Amino acid sequence: MQLGCSLPIGDIGTGPDVIRDYAQAAEGLGYEYLVAPDHVIGANPAKATEGQRIGTTTTPYHDPFVLFAFLAGITKKMGFVAGVLILAQRQAALVAKQAASLDALSEGRFRLGIGVGWNEIEFQGLGVDFHTRGKRSEEQVRFMQALWAKPHVTFKGEFHQLDDGGINPRPTSGRVPIWFGGHVEATFKRTAKYGDGFMPLAYPAGDEALKAFDKLRALIKAEGRDPGSVGLEVWLSAGLGKEDDWRREVKFWKDAGVSHAAVHTTFGGYHHKRIAGKTYDDHLQAITRYRAAVADLL
């Protein structure tokens, strides 16, 4: 099982020096990949009301492709994961080109996690229909996979058309790994058909997660694919519990067939909890302590 960690730029800052130092420190500790989220536009926080889920400009987000291209040049082995890119609000051919370029520059160290998004203001600002994002995203995946696989493609879909065109460079393998984030029925089906991996956030270690994994594996088999070829990623909270708790959770996930687990220090949704501190040292100490506790279980 690979162990990754998040990049907490909302706390430590967005400048090149602090990002370089943190990424290189994480790689030196033995973390195998970094996770970074994607949000293009945030709402004015003055508009937020209690009980309403709204993404604001309070938290900074680097563009994942720019961020990972920068990090690819200053790390040696560490992988990079968009967790997750909101695909439906972007042009599919452009994403295919950006991902292929990053694949080349990082020498295959990039996984493209995707989701359909939830913050409507982003779609408004990018001129994309929020209400068709699910079915558009599914078609985007098929379009991108076709562009990665062949030098020239003819594609006719509901949202995308191309008459014998292509991108260059393309991934050496003919594919950029696509990992689906989410929990709705459509996400399971899309992962089973097209995905290289599944990265849910809502399941704590327990029976609910095992049922979800079994459900996905059955759908993958029904598509004529090998369930073992589709990875599973979960997130771990450095702000929740102590060493013995972390070890029990990591062992549970490994026994459940999870291939990747990311230690998060800022995420507080669902059952997760962020760490108490917000400084660079607080985050570095948290991931140092976590990995030392579970290293022999990986």
241: left (phi over 0), alpha (psi -120 to 50) or beta: left
What integer pLDDT is reported at residue 47 of this predicted model?
Answer: 79
What integer pLDDT is reported at residue 5 of this predicted model?
Answer: 98
User: Is the dihedral angle over the CA atoms 147, 152, 154, 160 positive or is it negative?
Assistant: positive
Say how far apart CA 297 and CA 199 lie, in whole Å: 21
Query: Which residues in the chain show pLDDT less than 50?
Result: none
| 237 Cβ neighbours under 8 A, 6+ residues apart | 263, 264, 267, 271, 272, 273, 274
User: What single letter denotes the amino acid at residue 204?
Assistant: P
Q: Contact, 5 vs 264, CB < 8 A?
A: yes
For residue 156, the 8-state DSSP code is E
What integer pLDDT is reported at residue 50 of this predicted model?
Answer: 65
- What Å distances lie between residue 189 and 135, 141, 192, CA to CA? 12, 13, 5
Helix axis angle, 92-105 to 133-149, nearest 10°: 50
What integer pLDDT is reported at residue 51 of this predicted model?
Answer: 66
User: What single letter denotes the amino acid at residue 283?
Assistant: H
What integer pLDDT is reported at residue 53 of this predicted model?
Answer: 72
- Omega within 30 of 0 (cis) for the link into 169: yes
Q: Contact, 170 vs 151, CB < 8 A?
A: yes
Count of C-beta atoms within a 10 Å radius of residue 168: 7
What integer pLDDT is reported at residue 81 of this predicted model?
Answer: 98
CATH fold for domain 2-297: TIM Barrel (3.20.20)
Residue 227, CB-side half-sphere exposure with 13 Å CA sphere? 14
